[in-house]
Amino acid sequence: MKDKILIVEDDINTLNGLAEILEDENFEVVKARNAREAAAEFRNNHFNVVLLDYLLPDKDGMELSREFLEEQPEIRIIMLTAFGTVKNAVNAMKLGIYDYLTKPINLDELLIIIRRAIQEQKLIIENIDLKSKILETYRFENIIGVSGKMQEVFKKIVKVANSDATILLRGESGTGKELIARAIHYQSPRKNGPLIEINCASIPETLLESELFGHEKGAFTGAYKMKKGKFELANNGTLFLDEISEIPISLQAKLLRVLQERRFTRVGGVDNIEVNVRLIAATNADLEKIMAEGLFREDLYYRLNVISIFVPPLRERREDIGPLTDYFIQKYAQKNNRNIKGISQEAREILMNHDWPGNVRELENAIESAVVMAEGEYIQPEDLPAYLQMTTQKPSPFQALLQNQNNMSYKEKLEAFEREIIRQALLESNGNKTQAAKKLGFTPRTLRNKVKKYNL
C-alpha cells in the first residue's frame, strides 16, 4: 500500500506541481485548496503526512494543524510558508507540527523530510501496537506487575491456564498467591464453573476432612444431614487449597487419591463420588523441609508439584512498588471517599526503600491507612504508618560519626562531636552567638574561639 499525503495549498500551480512530483515518487496524493476541503478529506482518509500551506483563504494553517493533531496525534504535518520567521517555527513545533519549510520549496529537502516523517511514524505505531499487545496478553484485572519477574509469572499463568494440570503456587505470605489462583481460574476454560477456596490452616483438623469431602447424614455426632464437601462443590470448576502444608498427614492419602482417581467417599459414606476438578494449591511453607521431617507425603508432593509457580517477594521486584502504590491509592481513595490525588516524592521514597517483609499485603495496608490519615491531596511521609517513617530516617549526625569508616582517631572523633554540638546550638539559636554560648555553658569568648577553630 502506498503512503498517503494530503496537500493543502490555495495556489493552484504550486498545488498541482507538488502533487505531480510526489506522485512520481510513488506516493498517493490528495489535493485540497482550502481548510474546508482539507478537513473533509482528512476525515475520510487516513493520511501519513499533511503538507500544509500556512496562509489559507479560510483558516489559519496553525489552527487547522491543531485540529488535525487533536484528532490524530500521530499525523505528520509539514508546514509550508512564504513567511518563514523563527517565531512561527517555534510556535509550530510547540504545537506538534513535524517540520517547517519556507517557500520557495527545495524539493530534495521536502522529499527527505517526508520520508523521514513516515519512517518515524511507522516505528511509533509499531511500538504502540507491540506495547498494547503485551499489555493484552500479560495483564490481569487487579494484578499489578511491571517487573520482569511478574511478567514471567503472568506468562506462565497464560501458559498453564488452558490445561487441567495441578498447580502449586509458592511464595511468601502476602505476595499475591490467592490473586493468582483466581486469575488462573478465570483464564481457564473452567471460568464459568465454580471457583471454591478453602484455607487448610483456618479449619480445625477434625473438621477438615468433612469440609473437603463432605459427610453423610449421621456420620458423626452433629451430622444431622448430608453435606457436600468442597471437592463436590468445585465440580467442573477449580478448587483452591490454600496453605496446603497444613493438611494433616492422615488426610493426605485421601487427597492423593482424589488427584489420581478423581473420586472419593464422603465421611461416613461408602459410595464413590466422581468429580472433575482442577486443583490449585498454595503454600508459603518450606514443603521440602516438612517432607523431610515426615509430615508431608512425598507422593503427594510430587503429584502437586507438576507445575509450580513461584511468586517473588516484593523486595525482589522493587519496580512494582510504585505502580502498586498508585493502584492502592486510587482504590482506597475511592473506597473511603477521600480526595487523594497521589503521593509526595519523599513519601514514595520511604516506600521504595522499605523491605516489605509482609509483601504486597503490607504495602496495601500501609497505603489504606495513609489514605485515611492524609490531610492534603498528596500523601506525605507523616501520613504513613509510624514504623515505616522510623526505618528510613536518616542516621543523626552523631550516629553517622560513630559509624564512620574513615579511621578517625579518638581525638578527631571528639572534635567532630564537639563541632557538631556547637553547630546544633548555633542552629537552634538562629546564629545568635550570645544565646548559643549560654546554651552550651561557654563564655562568649570560648564560643568565638571554637567557631573559628571549627570553621563554623
Ligand X SMILES: Nc1ncnc2c1ncn2[C@@H]1O[C@H](COP(=O)(O)OP(=O)(O)OP(=O)(O)O)[C@@H](O)[C@H]1O
For residue 320, the SS3 value is helix
Q: Given the complex with ligand X, which of 18 and 324 has the nearer CB atom?
A: 324
Helix (H) or strand (E) holding 280: strand 278-283
Q: Given the complex with ligand X, which of 9 and 320 has the nearer CB atom?
A: 320
Give me the residue whose beta carbon is nearest to Mg ion: 178
The number of CA neighbours under 13 Å toward the Cβ of 90 is: 3
Segment lying near Mg ion (by CB under 5 A), choices 171-179, 180-188, 253-261, 448-456? 171-179
Segment lying near Mg ion (by CB under 5 A), choices 174-182, 267-275, 298-306, 357-365? 174-182
Binds 4: which of Mg ion, ligand X, none (CB < 5-8 Å by kind)? none
| Closest CB 167 distance from ligand X, rounded Å | 14
Binds 290: which of Mg ion, ligand X, none (CB < 5-8 Å by kind)? none
Segment lying near Mg ion (by CB under 5 A), choices 2-10, 170-178, 307-315, 363-371? 170-178
Q: Given the complex with ligand X, which of 78 and 180 has the nearer CB atom?
A: 180
Distance between CA atoms of residues 237 and 164, nearest Å? 10
C-alpha cell of 144?
499489578
Return the number of other C-beta atoms located less than 10 Å from residue 377's C-beta: 11
Q: Given the complex with Mg ion, which of 88 and 283 has the nearer CB atom?
A: 283
Distance between CA atoms of residues 131 and 128, nearest Å? 5
Give me the residue whose beta carbon is nearest to ligand X: 176
Q: Given the complex with Mg ion, which of 37 and 178 has the nearer CB atom?
A: 178
Binds 176: which of Mg ion, ligand X, none (CB < 5-8 Å by kind)? ligand X
Q: Given the complex with ligand X, which of 142 and 276 has the nearer CB atom?
A: 142
Return the number of other C-beta atoms located less than 10 Å from residue 365's C-beta: 15
| Closest CB 247 distance from ligand X, rounded Å | 15
| Closest CB 285 distance from Mg ion, rounded Å | 12
- Using CB under 6 A, list all residues that contact ligand X: 142-145, 171, 173-179, 284, 324, 360-361, 364
CB within 8 A of 74, min separation 6: which ones? 121, 124, 125
Q: Determine the residue type at 428.
A: E
Whether the bond into 104 is cis, omega within 30 of 0: yes
Binds 174: which of ligand X, Mg ion, none (CB < 5-8 Å by kind)? ligand X
Residues in the chain: 456
Binds 151: which of Mg ion, ligand X, none (CB < 5-8 Å by kind)? none
Q: Given the complex with ligand X, which of 269 and 358 has the nearer CB atom?
A: 358
The number of CA neighbours under 13 Å toward the Cβ of 336 is: 17
Return the number of other C-beta atoms located less than 10 Å from residue 410's C-beta: 7
Distance between CA atoms of residues 209 and 201, nearest Å? 13
Among positions 10, 11, 152, 178, the unique one binding Mg ion when judged by CB under 5 A: 178
Binds 216: which of Mg ion, ligand X, none (CB < 5-8 Å by kind)? none
Q: Given the complex with ligand X, which of 173 and 308 has the nearer CB atom?
A: 173
Distance between CA atoms of residues 61 and 205, nearest Å? 78
C-alpha cell of 387?
514504623
Which residue bears the cell 471437592?
Answer: 231
Residues near Mg ion (CB under 5 A) are 178
